[in-house]
Structure 1
Amino acid sequence: MAETDPKTVQDLTSVVQTLLQQMQDKFQTMSDQIIGRNILYLYSRIDDLEKNIADLMTQAGVEELDGENKIPATQKS
């Protein structure tokens, strides 16, 4: 590391800026990965919730009619 030891204030400034940029890049990469995983997890949970709601509606005999109110299947005419 003797070859890369800073000799002047400008060298030291350059080394510190490089290190800070590398740290920022790594932080951004990790942050993006965490956010991406969380979004995928949330979409998965929403899909599960929608499926469970649909199953419960089916079990309760409730059907959805193109955005209209839900009516029990037993009360249809």
Structure 2
Amino acid sequence: MDGHDSEDTKQSTADMTAFVQNLLQQMVVFFGFYVFLGLGIVTSIVDDMGGRINELEQSINDLRAEMGVEGTPPPASKSGDEPKTPASST
């Protein structure tokens, strides 16, 4: 073998290494963009749903106010020690 074949092999290896590194970098950018885009879409959906939940809560509160219901019902007892009072039927 002469030194020329060795240089060609080294150059081919260097070219292949540069090609693979470039390809991997492009893949990272490509997939990173789509992950970022996906996160943006998910964030948008969550924000939209949060807004809708707030609107629904406000609508419920408005209806309660129209019906003359004051405040919100007390939270259920977690301990279960307190006796429950039946609702009056008058």
TM-score, normalising length: structure 1:
0.67
Q: 1:9 aligns with which of 6, 11, 16?
A: 16
Of stretches 27-36 and 15-24 in structure 1, the one that deviates more from structure 2 is 27-36
Amino acid at match of 1:53: I
User: Where in structure 1 are there 5+ consecutive unaligned residues?
Assistant: 1-6, 70-77
> CA distance change for structure 1 residues 64 and 31 in 2, over 3 Å: closer, same or farther?
same
Moved over 3 A (4+): none
For 1:23-71, what per-residue CA distance to the aligned partner results, in whole angstroms no more than 9, with x for missing partners?
A: 12211211121121111111110110000000111122222356258xx
For 1:1-29, what per-residue CA distance to the aligned partner results, in whole angstroms no more than 9, with x for missing partners?
A: xxxxxx73212211110110101221121
Report the structure number with the largest CA radius of gyration.
2
Amino acid at match of 1:60: M
Q: 2:66 aligns with which of 46, 59, 65?
A: 59
Determine if the alignment matches structure 1 residue 33 to structure 2 residue 63.
no
Separation in 2, partners of 1:41, 1:65: 25
Name the counterpart of 2:7.
Answer: none
Structure with the bigger percentage of strand: 1
Larger RCO, structures 1/2 (Cα 8 Å, 6+ apart): 1
Amino acid at match of 1:46: I
